[in-house]
Structure 1
């Protein structure tokens, strides 16, 4: 007899031992970051400045504010936060008992030659039964009204680990919204300055059109006086026609940029109120701060970090799934085989059952879940490291872009001044017969190209500053 009693103990021990053979979680080792950005040792950075303070153009501030209120990508991000919060509530609910209200009815007819059928038939002949306790025959009804409960007791912390993973993902979803806000602010500001640049290009082209019209009139007078030929007149007209086509092209680019900006603002195409290039000011000194500030400010880096932590918790929960689970079920209510007696005090019924179960055979599904969690954990680690490297690359590129565009701007200003003087000189020489009409055309073409390039380079400075602001984590505060 003692031999038979040992078997359940051995089986239970096998369940526990087999479940406790858990592999260790895959370690996560983030990349080590430098203490400073190359060539810069600023203690503070522009990433901490709120966007309403960083941008001084009030028209731009109004446009950004409209984008934050109406942008559809941002609204979708808010809904993703709501979904992540629902997952947290779901994970919290898994820690608590489930209690259901149940009202059910059914019945069964047992065979006459079955143990239940014979037992029920024989029971009705007992002298101890009154009429209410006699079993209906041949169909035996069963009515229940009450509560049923089930509860998985979190003895190993698996459910708490899943709750922690869900909460970490909720925090990550909030960082994702901040990352979208940062990109939105940068994109809106970039399009705004591109529109200002296009306005500048349009003014330059219109100014050159007026100058070239004057040149066409002058060359016409020269032809009538016998000092120029028809070829010269046609060359000047061709140049004027080419510049006039540039005006149409810039107008179309303005329409496209305004429509693109309106899309970010969540509205249909309309004119964008904006300032002029002369009303803009560029800071004398730009500070990127230190890498730790960037890692703290950049929402995409924080999001990647939180996703990495959540996947690590998933990996831990997948390991704990191999451990035995304690499940408790209970019932309390009224149970009777006659509907008229369902709420009789004698119909009160209750039970409780607890059981410890553990996976023993065919654990492929659990092993597959563990491998998937390990792979997801490593993927999130690599994504976190990539976000750090991307941040450093963007900051370094933007810092050098600002410095180099500033130097290019100085050279281009000098180039424009020299070419404008060259146009004046070529016209004076042409009048006195010391220069040809081709030299005037070349000078006018060169000054137009130089002025347009200068406008683009100056805009590139602002775009680089905006990109640096985004790269160091500015724009979501």
Structure 2
């Protein structure tokens, strides 16, 4: 008789499992599809020569783009030790833990443990008249619970946690891209300051010699003391500029130290005139930003997460099928706990349909839909910003290349003017003010040429970052 009952119970449980597994095909959860971004990507780059080739300089490794051995060493060090990169890695670790938890959503919950219960009954109650002095119960119980994923809620939650993890991965990649760009720009800025310092020192030496020359001309009666004083003032102005540049170098080295995650120090480096970035400027089609820009990828993963959470909120309106079971050993006497007669078991399967819950489910659905729309708008905004950054970096690069030629011609013309003014002054055919003006203009022009050289390098780095290069 007992075996017949057990067989019937097994058949019922098997029937419930079959129904649960059959209903799992009835998903209400939708599959994510990337939104139509044709409008956003058609004219994303503001340039007269829209790229038709999918190849992008973002696919080039930073080790290939930057050939300076010192810079390569510092980038490698920064990727290992930078605090922002290390923080992003820990964010990835946390997101990965949630993703693993999401994958485990299909598994049942199982707990087991011993229990002791003592009950004191009222003497006037039904059991109090039987069990005088209270009742002790000992048991070792295992509890199992499993929910069938009928409507795709568990699957959608799993996908949401996976998207959150991939978003953290893309965030880590974005930090790497920004770090490489920051290290390169800071390094190039140091080289430019070194070059400006060298020009300033040469100017100081020239002006110191000029002071002696103008003093000799005064002794000869060709100029007045005013000319001597103004030459001395110009000399001291250059000395003050040297102090400013040395201060800027000191601060820039400290900035590089932070990027590398190290204590402030002096950094070995090459010179500005040997820096060459010979990689061909290739933008790739605008749609390539969807696979190259980490922040754009992170924004899309954020959209996917919101989409799947909307699926979860939608499936919460439908009934849930849950199977629960418990079993173990139970006895009134501790000595009899491990007897075969102490075995017990029960299983319960049922559908639960939410009806009245103070509008919680409807609110969750409305919030999820609104957050999904926010994520979509954020995705499109991030893509537009990426296109804007590419356009600005490209235009700046082309403009600076044109301007460099004019700056170089300006320096050559001013150097010639300075030499002529000095020669004419020595022979009494020019005013000392012409020489002072020429000298000051030459220094400014030479510093501008260095700045223009720096900006060309910086614009290539900025374009590389804007296209999503560096993290691969």
Task: Give the TM-score normalised by the residue count of structure 1.
Answer: 0.89
User: Which residue in 2 is equivalent to 1:100?
Assistant: 111
Give secondary structure in 2 for the equivalent of 1:94. helix
Choose the corresponding residue for 2:75, options 61, 64, 69: 64
1:317 Cα offset (Å): 0.5
Is contact 2:418-2:438 (8 Å) kept? yes
User: Which residue in 2 is equivalent to 1:287?
Assistant: 282
Measure, in 2, the Cα distance between the counterparts of 1:25 and 1:374. Answer: 15
Change (3 A) 1:284 1:351: closer
- 1:379-405 Cα shifts (integer Å, max 9, x gaps): 111111011111111111111111110
1:31 Cα offset (Å): 3.3
- 1:44-99 Cα shifts (integer Å, max 9, x gaps): 22111011111111111111000001111111111111111111121222321111
Question: Matched residue pairs, number?
Answer: 441
Measure, in 1, the Cα distance between the counterparts of 2:122 and 2:289. Answer: 78
1:263 Cα offset (Å): 0.4
- 1:92-149 Cα shifts (integer Å, max 9, x gaps): 223211111111101111112223334xx1xxxxxxxxxxxxxx53210111113111
Moved more, 369-378 or 206-215: 369-378
Change (3 A) 1:42 1:425: farther
User: Which residue in 2 is equivalent to 1:6?
Assistant: none
- 1:346-382 Cα shifts (integer Å, max 9, x gaps): 1111111122112111342222221221121111111
Choose the corresponding residue for 1:39, options 48, 54, 57: 48
1:27 Cα offset (Å): 9.8
Is contact 2:65-2:279 (8 Å) kept? no
Moved more, 359-368 or 207-216: 359-368
Change (3 A) 1:45 1:178: same
1:223 Cα offset (Å): 1.5
Is contact 1:30-1:385 (8 Å) kept? no
User: Which residue in 2 is equivalent to 1:114?
Assistant: 125
Measure, in 1, the Cα distance between the counterparts of 2:101 and 2:152. Answer: 16
User: Which residue in 1 is equivalent to 2:466?
Assistant: 471
Measure, in 2, the Cα distance between the counterparts of 1:357 and 1:98. Answer: 18
Moved more, 368-377 or 277-286: 277-286
Measure, in 2, the Cα distance between the counterparts of 1:117 and 1:324. Answer: 42
Is contact 1:333-1:350 (8 Å) kept? yes
User: Which residue in 2 is equivalent to 1:79?
Assistant: 90
Measure, in 2, the Cα distance between the counterparts of 1:368 and 1:280. Answer: 59
User: Which residue in 1 is equivalent to 2:268?
Assistant: 273
Measure, in 1, the Cα distance between the counterparts of 2:364 and 2:268. Answer: 55
Is contact 1:341-1:347 (8 Å) kept? yes
Q: 1:363-378 alignment to 2 at 5 Å? A: 363-378=358-373
Measure, in 2, the Cα distance between the counterparts of 1:395 and 1:369. Answer: 39
Task: Give the TM-score normalised by the residue count of structure 2.
Answer: 0.90
Residue ranges of structure 1 left out of the alignment (5+ in a row): 1-19, 122-135
Give secondary structure in 1 for the equivalent of 2:283. coil
Q: 1:6-405 alignment to 2 at 5 Å? A: 29-32=35-38, 33-34=41-42, 37=45, 38-40=47-49, 41=51, 43=53, 44-118=55-129, 121=130, 137-283=132-278, 285-405=280-400
Measure, in 2, the Cα distance between the counterparts of 1:28 and 1:476. Answer: 23
Change (3 A) 1:27 1:360: farther
Measure, in 2, the Cα distance between the counterparts of 1:257 and 1:182. Answer: 20
User: Which residue in 2 is equivalent to 1:13?
Assistant: none
Change (3 A) 1:56 1:284: closer
Is contact 1:25-1:374 (8 Å) kept? no
